[in-house]
Amino acid sequence: MSEPRRDPDALIARAGVRGNPDRDQHFLIDDRVLDRLPGYLESVHGAENGPHTDHLLEIGAGTGALTDRLLAAGERVTAVERDPGLASFLREEFAAEIDAGRLSVVEGDALDADLPEFSASVSNLPYGVSSEIAFRLLPEKRPLVLMFQREFADRMVAEPGTPEYGRLSVSAQHYANCEVVETVPKEAFSPPPAVESAVVRTTAREPDYEVGDEDFFLRFVKAIFTQRRKTIRNAIRNTAHISGLDDPDAVVAAADETLLSKRAGALAPTDFADLAALADDVGRGDG
């Protein structure tokens, strides 16, 4: 970078705060990790056809260490921060960037706040709500570089037949290609969390299957994985109250026997799509 970036420890000192694990506050303080995060957007497929850094969205800006790096990498940044004291600090610390029209600070919960149109998001997410935030961002079909707990990240990118593969894997990969680009030790944060972390990069894509009713497809996947130790036959019958099926027996009668004898962890996303389409066709009423 052409000029020194703000020191994360100095930002914490100027803000006069300490990270609070009870409030899901773990500030990223490792300069090397902070400097690398925006760069993961550079190799996103399609970057050669136009930059993804026109308007970067950051969820959970904290004291602004990553915000500072995003301002160096992007044209414009919107930083969302739910803590009123930290939001006030950000407005003071980055007053020049705000006055120049390069930074907007949104005070509020990212699950409820009105989010702007954005070209990509790079964020150190609050881990307690990381799933909810991820699935608010993924349907926007924009490149994402997000920090998660390591276990969550591993489940997000998992393939069928592996222990980590589950509802999260199918749902996330429905929207995007997902890859772990870096693991991050506890010591990179203040205070250190109880677990390791990992950075996931997602690149939006259309799935290699068709889904007529996306809400039903995602609900069906959720339902089946609540009974992941059961065969698909039994899972379909046992979870009609979750998936919203009126006639699960009709689905079982019409489905392929090979699929019915498997368990959820062995089914590829395409298999789930085929089953959901069948269930939608023969197992749901007219409403």
Residue among 34, 41, 108 at smallest CA distance from 74:
41
Q: Which two tokens stand for residue 193?
A: 């969390």
> Is 55 annotated as a binding-site member?
no
> Is 81 annotated as a binding-site member?
yes
Q: Which two tokens stand for residue 279?
A: 């269930």
Maximum separation of any 2 CA atoms in the chain, in Å: 66
- The H or E element containing residue 28 is strand 27-28
> Is 26 annotated as a binding-site member?
yes
Amino acid at 272: F
Pairing, β 197-204 against β 144-149: antiparallel
Residue 113, C-beta contacts closer than 8 angstroms, at least 6 positions apart: 80, 106
Whole-angstrom Cα distance, residue 62 to residue 5? 16
Asked whether 123 and 146 are in contact (CB, 8 A), the reply is yes
DSSP for 40-56, written as a single string: GGTTSTTGGGS-S-SEE
Q: Which ranges of 117-267 does DSSP label H, i.e. alpha helix?
A: 130-137, 150-156, 167-175, 214-225, 232-238, 240-243, 248-254, 257-260
> Is 213 annotated as a binding-site member?
no
> Is 34 annotated as a binding-site member?
no
Asked whether 139 and 175 are in contact (CB, 8 A), the reply is yes
Pairing, β 189-190 against β 27-28: antiparallel
Q: Which two tokens stand for residue 25?
A: 């506050």
Sign, CA torsion 195/32/30/120 = negative
Pairing, β 76-81 against β 55-59: parallel
> Is 124 annotated as a binding-site member?
yes
Residue ranges at the known binding site for S-adenosyl-L-methionine? 26, 28, 60, 81, 109, 124
The binding site consists of: 26, 28, 60, 81, 109, 124
